[in-house]
Amino acid sequence: MARVRISSSYGGGVDVDLPEDVRDLLASLARQLAELIDDPEAVGEPGLERLFPPASIDDPMESLGFEQLMGDALRAGKREAAAIVRATAHATHLDAEETLAWMRCINDIRLVIGTRLDIQEDTDIEAMFENELMEQAAVTYVALTELVEMLARAADPT
């Protein structure tokens, strides 16, 4: 990616210098994420499942209770973050709340793509660049990884 810079800004926000095509891609991916969250046919799809993991490692009833208690709020939160990313995809400055939405949403998109690519600790992602079926997703995944890394370094967590 050419000209990619995210730097700290006053009040917990960040200044964002990104090429237009990356911004367009982010807006498009955020829209796709929101669609995935509300797609009834995607139930059980591994990428979507990864966004809403079971709350208990070994107690399905506990996990079900948690889903009933928190599921709607979790989906609403992810929907809202995606909407903020779409609305601010071309902004040069993000306030603290918008920065948070970018981090959460871009990381969620990484989780979906990474799960579909079956990324493991020892996965050689660059080898996927040679695979016609995986190339586009792998290139996107690497670009989003760089963005999350930069956001986490630039944004103030306090």
Partner 1 sequence: MSAPTIVREPEIDVATERDVPWIVIVWNDPINLMTYVTWVFQKVFGFPRTEAERLMMDVHTKGKAVVANGPKERCEAHVATLHGYGLWATLQQDR
| Interface contacts to partner 1, rule CB under 8 A | 51-59, 62, 66, 69-70, 73-74, 77-78, 100, 103-104, 107-108, 110-111, 114-115, 119-121, 123, 145, 148-149, 152-153, 155, 157-158
For the CB of residue 48, give the shortest distance to partner 1 in the complex, in Å: 13
- Residue 118 vs 130, nearer CB to partner 1: 118
For the CB of residue 143, give the shortest distance to partner 1 in the complex, in Å: 14
Q: What would the two tokens of residue 123 be?
A: 């996965």
For the CB of residue 17, give the shortest distance to partner 1 in the complex, in Å: 20
Per-position DSSP letters for the chain, written without gaps between them: --S-EEEE-GGG-EEEE--HHHHHHHHHHHHHHHHHHT-GGGTT-HHHHHHS--S-SS-HHHHHHHHHHHHHHHHHHHHHHHHHHHHHTT-SEE-HHHHHHHHHHHHHHHHHHHHHTT--TT--HHHHTT-TTTHHHHHHHHHHHHHHHHHHHHS---
- Residue 20 vs 120, nearer CB to partner 1: 120
- Residue 25 vs 74, nearer CB to partner 1: 74
For the CB of residue 20, give the shortest distance to partner 1 in the complex, in Å: 25
- Residue 20 vs 58, nearer CB to partner 1: 58
